[in-house]
Amino acid sequence: MAASSSDDDPQNLVARERQGDNAEPLSITEISALLKRTVEDRFGFVRLRGELSGVKRAASGHLYLALKDEKAVLDGVMWRGNAQRLPFVPEDGIEVIASGKLTTYPGRSKYQIVIDSLEIAGEGALLALLEKTRRKLEAEGLFARERKQALPYLPRVIGVVTSPTGSVIRDILHRLADRFPSHVLVWPVLVQGQGAAEQVAQAVRGFAALDGSGPVPRPDVVIVARGGGSIEDLWSFNEEVVVRAIADCPIPVISAVGHETDTTLADYAADRRAPTPTAAAEMAVPVRADLVATVADLTNRQKRAVLRPVELGRERLEARVRRIPRLDALFQPHALRLDDLSERLKRGLMDRAGQGREKLTGVSARLSPSLLKRSANDAQRQLDRARLTPDLVRRPLAQKQEALTALARLAQQFHPEEPLKRGYAIVRDAQDKALTSRELAAKETALVLQFADGRLDVIQGDGAAPPPPKPKKPRRSPPASPKQDDLFG
């Protein structure tokens, strides 16, 4: 009789089939597959509400996160296609509602939710996310007042970022046409839904990238506009990509998103906020009729300013003219004086003529032929007594001859070559210039000594012969004066 199994393995180390046990042992893979199928069949579609935690976007584009509440945590994953269609940027702390299915991950014995869609849980959570984003961007200085730019007074080109089919663009164009017709460039974008924020940001950056050199002019001001709606409808204008594009735009931006009570982060980043799109058009341009009236008023003021000095000058001139006396009143005293002087002149001439006549009569009485003959005879006798003798001419000539002889003797004595006859010599340089000191002579290499009977060349230094002196120009003799006639013939 064979021994029992308990006898062979008293410690029950080897697994054995027991009586009544009809279940085969399962492998880990088999039980994991059963669990996965059971969970997915039972929870094929669920909606979960929780707070995001550990949000991480992988390089592949998949989104990994965790949903948690006060007592539990559930891992989740959102594949790239669904993650790219999210209308907001998931961040830690946001309360959301996730829709998808539960599944298991056998590799780690965990279960998770594969999320198909992700929504913010209620308006309160949306406002909390909005406030969080606002504080973050405000801390970066994107809403600072010193970043705001002044709007141009009269823009020539206006860029509008909005939907091309809504009533917003019609209201803006109508208002611009009423106030001041301008050149409008419309950049059509989605203003709601998936991809709207990226299109709005791209439009703002596109306007900023224009340089005006091409066929499309660069706008002087940009209007970002959208009609009213709920906070969900306006959420695209709360996205960071839109806010940063508006804040970085070098062109002044007017935000006209929603109605007067609606506020978005784009309003904080823009240079000016308009309560409505129509109000944005009013901010962008002045009223043309008011400008025309203002120009007309300034023109009139300019004319008055120009004519006022003329009118004042005319008034002053008329006042001075009234104070100037009449010409006849000015000339009357002078005319009377002229008449008086004319009469006095006439009487004076007559008196002077009478006196001259009387004097002439007295002189003519003294002029008689006998007196004239007597004066002529006296003059003839004086002329006869005056005789010309040779001594009167010879004496001055002799005096002049003696003076000339004395000057000739002095010239002979003071002639520079006269001392040469007594043994002296004149030292000259190569240019025949007289040297008067030893210092000047020591500087010359060749000297010329002039004696009474000729010249002698002297060489100093290396013994080279001195250059011949330059010939002197002959002195011109003064022109002969014309010979004086001899007084005595």
Question: pLDDT tens digits for 425-462?
Answer: 888 887 888 878 888 888 788 888 888 788 888 887 65
Paired tokens of 85: 């269609």
- What are the start-end ranges of the E strands in 191-318? 221-226, 253-257, 272-273
Share of the chain above pLDDT 90, in %: 20
Q: Is 279 exposed, middle or buried (0-12, 13-18, 19+ CB in 10 A)?
A: middle
- Please give the single-letter amino acid code of residue 224: V
Q: What are the two backbone dihedrals, phi and then psi, of residue 294, each rounded to the nearest 5 degrees? A: -65, -40
pLDDT at 255: 93
Euclidean distance between CA atoms 257 and 101, whole angstroms = 37
Q: What is the pLDDT of residues 382-439, one digit of tens each?
A: 877 766 667 767 888 888 888 888 888 887 777 777 777 777 888 888 788 887 888 8
Predicted pLDDT at 131: 81
Higher-confidence position of 24 and 97: 97
Alpha helix (H) residue ranges in 140-262: 167-179, 196-209, 240-248
Q: What is the mean pLDDT of the chain?
A: 82
- Dihedral-angle region of residue 443 (phi above 0 means left; psi in -120 to 50 means alpha; beta otherwise): alpha
- Start-end of H helices in 69-121: 80-84
Contact 97/49 with Cβ under 8 angstroms? yes
Residue 208 CA, chain-centre distance (Å), reads: 22
pLDDT at 472: 54
pLDDT at residue 271 greater than cutoff 90: yes
pLDDT > 70? residue 476: no
Determine the CATH number of domain 28-120: 2.40.50.140
Phi-psi region of 272 (alpha: psi -120 to 50; beta: other; left: phi over 0): beta
CA 272, CA 151: separation in Å to the nearest integer? 8
What pLDDT score was predicted for residue 219?
A: 94
Measured between alpha carbons, how far is 225 from 233 in angstroms, rounded to an integer? Answer: 13
Q: In what order do the strands lie in the sheet with 446-451?
A: 426-428, 446-451, 454-459
Mention every residue, 6+ apart, whose C-beta is less than 8 A from residue 433.
none
Full-model pTM: 0.47
Residue 416's pLDDT is 76
E strands, 140-234, where?
A: 157-162, 183-188, 221-226
Helix (H) and strand (E) counts for the chain?
14, 13
For the segment 196-219, what is each residue's pLDDT rounded down to a tens digit?
899 999 999 999 999 888 889 999
Rounded to an integer, the average pLDDT of 6-33 is: 67
Question: 255, 206, 203, 208: which is closest to 234 by C-alpha?
Answer: 255
Residue ranges of the alpha helices (H) in 107-159?
122-139
pLDDT in tens, 456-473: 888 876 545 555 555 555
User: What topology does CATH give the domain 149-286?
Assistant: Rossmann fold (3.40.50)
pLDDT digits (tens, 9 = 90+) for 359-375: 887 777 666 677 778 88
pLDDT score for 19: 59
Q: State the first-to-last Cα distance of the chain, in angstroms, to the nearest integer.
A: 212
- What residues contact 447, with CB distance under 8 A and at least 6 apart? 427, 428, 429, 435, 441, 457, 458, 460, 466
3-class state of residue 453 by DSSP = coil
The pLDDT assigned to 488 comes to: 42
Q: Which residue has the tokens 């309003």?
A: 267
Q: Which whole-number Å values give the CA distances from 93 to 88, 90, 112, 187, 319, in the listed order?
A: 14, 9, 19, 36, 89
